[in-house]
Amino acid sequence: MLVEDPALHRDRNYEWIEHTLAGLPEQIATEVRSWVTVLRGQGQREHEPRSYLNIRRHLSSLKATLENWIADGVTSLREISQNDIKKAVGVARATRPAHSTSHSGACSGH
């Protein structure tokens, strides 16, 4: 019987996350990696872990904002102010594709 080596079958979303983090400055990568760890259910409070696909989607949405902050000279996420976040959210909303809308939770009948 053959036993598969889990190291040969790494999750492609995990690999994307690691590749993305490797492209960030060390301090910011460490801070984002802590966030990923918490989302995976390994923080101080127990909760159901998020999938790597879910985390990849979140990180993909944040990537341009992180890159902009880095280009502006940010070396740690601790430097980010509430105004920086409000500005980033405003930009994200303004550039969101028309088909990407928030759902109120109401059933659309589909």
- What pLDDT digit, counting tens, does each position of 59-70 carry? 999 999 999 999
pLDDT at 101: 47
Q: Quote the pLDDT of residue 2.
A: 61
* 54 — pLDDT class (breaks 50, 70, 90): very high
| Rounded mean pLDDT, 77-105 | 76
Cβ pair 55, 41 in contact under 8 A: no
Predicted local confidence at residue 91, as pLDDT: 77
Which residues does 96 contact at the CB level (< 8 Å), separation at least 6?
none
Confidence label for 105 from pLDDT (cuts 50, 70 and 90): very low
**Residue 58 half-sphere exposure, CB side, CA atoms within 13 Å?**
13
